[in-house]
Structure 1
Amino acid sequence: MSQLSRRSLLTSAALLAAGSALAAPAAGATNRRCPSPIALQMWSLNDQAEQDLLGTLDKVAAIGYVAIESYDLYDNSPKVVRAHLDNLGLGLCSSHAPFPSGPDAKSILDTYAELGSRTLVWSLEPEEFDSRDAILRGADRINEAVVNARPYGMRIGYHNHFAEFRNSFNGQQAYRILLNALDPAVVIELDTYWAQTGGADPVKVLRSLGRRVEYIHIKDGPATGMDDYMVPYGTGTIDVDGIARANPDVRWNIVEMDRSHYDMYWLLNNCYEYLVGRGLAVGRRPVS
């Protein structure tokens, strides 16, 4: 597909969404664009990207995704990846990258500044939710990252797994302990699948987070553990429709399929058609 053909797939709504979401929103800003644009977390195609990241991005653009959430550069320079995204008309809604705290902070920030990332998202490890003190130490590391990222014009986001929802201390959920300890500037990316795996109702969690949550990860499957194999939307245990409609302040609906017995490109196309076809997300390619 030619560059011109790819660009012709962009609807004016998707262009507006992609352009406004690449920059950090103004204080107090809210989405109110319902539905939100659709992006892809590139971990879904980790095996393919390890072989050929740029060719993998070509296929993501052809499906119709508005943007990606990067996971790795796979030995490509940030400048090359940024140029390729621009040529494809693909946005970069955020990047999964380690919290820029400690001795590696400058290297991380320099790399993702060159890529053009405005929001860096990462997680704490499961063992960091084994005690209240461990949670607070993790929060300190995240808050340090916020301070380090600010001169770069970058924001820090937090992505959950399931220990945050499964563990509690003196009747208080580990996730709430963490949120209360985080700098209010930390953006929340709710992985709705892992929230349900941890025993929470992701729709209720999304509603409770209000404007603090800007990104959601959407996947479907049995919601039993980290080794789950993902399935097409609507065939697992996740209320995908309810999640996509739960909070109008969500800025990006991010598809992520960690692993699957299905062909991954087929599955990601199926996810795209499910969300866009049902009016739950805005994409670059219309679905009849």
Structure 2
Amino acid sequence: MNNINLQLYSFGFECNLSLLDKIKCAGEMGYAGVEFARGYEELPVEQVKKALDDAGVKAVSAHVALDFMEQDLPYLAKLGVKFVACPMAPFNTAEEAKELAEDLNKFGQMAKQYGITIGYHNHTGEFYQDQGKYLMDYLIENTDPETVAFEIDCGWASAAGINPVEYINQHAGRIAGIHIKENGGVIGADKPQSRHEAPNHPKFELDEDGKPIIPPEFKKMMEEREKLNVPQGSGIVDWKAVKAAADAQREGVIYVVEREASYGGKGRIDCLKEDIAWLKENL
């Protein structure tokens, strides 16, 4: 497998590289393309295009929240992006899934003029059930297959207890992208928030230096989740079967490495180098 792309979010929040430097680094590591997580807002499109050309990588896709979708589509089209996915959105019932589907359909029609397909990327909460059915199923079933497709994050799906291969087969034709996120265990589906309630972000007290004081139980939970990000090829996902299923159901499926955390005390870039090396050798 050679056509492997990198979600730029994978560099992590502690990375000091600029967006242009991340593009260059992705090319140096051997990635064929990148998936943006915004960060280009203040940059002229010509500058980003030059960085892509210089690095020898393509702009294959992007993650854009619904609030920024309309304003970002023209910019991303100029970069050559063909798939723009909402990275996450709150919804916790069948009805709310249908409401979100309406939003995706609206942006799908809007993106059509740019030759862009709109998508949605899952975490674990999309596999929470309402009326005996996954929320993700309601979302897929109520979106227009002509303009809306999906990016299955196999790491989060398997963490929720879903077999990614079976899920891809169940929704054949609708899966335009695969997030290659290695996962070492099952934690179940998080209960998602309602799209009609204010976001319930955790609030922490600050120490005398103004840094957040992380409660032990929250820190433990985050550490356990980071441990799920094991080295590529050592987790619970059968990547050969995933690729076979994805390629069989739709042409031009994009494969994007996304890493949430490092492992073994290594730096993030070293982990990303090992990720692509394993994929090129084994898929």
Scaled to the shorter chain, the TM-score interval is: 0.7 to 0.9
The alignment status of 1:70 with 2:36, answered yes or no, reads yes
Q: Which residue of 262, 268, 284 corresponds with 2:272?
A: 268
Change (3 A) 1:47 1:169: closer
Kept in 1: contact 2:70–2:107 (CA 8 A): no
1:7-46 counterparts in 2 under 5 A? 35=1, 37-46=3-12
Aligned position for 1:252? 254
Aligned position for 1:182? 143
Displacement of 1:169 in angstroms is 2.1
Query: Which amino acid in structure 2 is aligned with residue 133 of structure 1?
Result: E
Kept in 2: contact 1:220–1:240 (CA 8 A): no
Change (3 A) 1:163 1:65: same
1:49-128 counterparts in 2 under 5 A? 51-74=17-40, 75-99=42-66, 105-125=69-89, 127-128=90-91
Change (3 A) 1:99 1:233: same
Query: Which amino acid in structure 2 is aligned with residue 186 of structure 1?
Result: V
Change (3 A) 1:70 1:50: farther
* Deviation >6 Å, runs of 4+: none
Aligned position for 1:211? 173
Kept in 2: contact 1:37–1:251 (CA 8 A): no
1:71 and 1:49 mapped to 2: Cα distance?
14
The alignment status of 1:134 with 2:96, answered yes or no, reads yes
| Residue deviations 1:62-108 (CA, integer Å, cap 9, x gap) | 111111111123543322111210122101111111237xxx55422
1:142-181 counterparts in 2 under 5 A? 142-165=104-127, 167-181=128-142
Displacement of 1:131 in angstroms is 1.2
Kept in 1: contact 2:246–2:253 (CA 8 A): no
1:244 and 1:274 mapped to 2: Cα distance?
14
Q: Mind listing any 5+ residue stretches in structure 1 that lack a counterpart?
A: 1-34, 281-288
**Paired residue total:** 239
1:259 and 1:51 mapped to 2: Cα distance?
17
2:110 and 2:15 mapped to 1: Cα distance?
29
Q: Which has the higher helix share?
A: 1
Query: Which amino acid in structure 1 is aligned with residue 276 of structure 2?
Result: Y
2:33 and 2:177 mapped to 1: Cα distance?
12
Displacement of 1:238 in angstroms is 2.7
Kept in 2: contact 1:54–1:81 (CA 8 A): yes
The alignment status of 1:193 with 2:155, answered yes or no, reads yes
In angstroms, what is the RMSD of aligned CA positions? 2.2
Kept in 1: contact 2:122–2:156 (CA 8 A): yes
2:275 and 2:153 mapped to 1: Cα distance?
16
1:105 and 1:232 mapped to 2: Cα distance?
33
State the SS of the aligned residue for 2:3: strand
Q: Mind listing any 5+ residue stretches in structure 2 that lack a counterpart?
A: 191-221
1:59 and 1:116 mapped to 2: Cα distance?
20
| Residue deviations 1:238-273 (CA, integer Å, cap 9, x gap) | 333332333323622211101224311111111111
Q: TM-score, normalised by structure 2?
A: 0.77
Change (3 A) 1:78 1:47: farther
Displacement of 1:56 in angstroms is 2.1
The alignment status of 1:220 with 2:219, answered yes or no, reads no
1:56 and 1:177 mapped to 2: Cα distance?
36
1:277 and 1:105 mapped to 2: Cα distance?
36
2:165 and 2:148 mapped to 1: Cα distance?
21
Displacement of 1:146 in angstroms is 0.9
1:53 and 1:83 mapped to 2: Cα distance?
12
2:276 and 2:5 mapped to 1: Cα distance?
9
2:148 and 2:79 mapped to 1: Cα distance?
21
State the SS of the aligned residue for 1:156: strand
Kept in 1: contact 2:154–2:164 (CA 8 A): yes
1:137 and 1:173 mapped to 2: Cα distance?
15
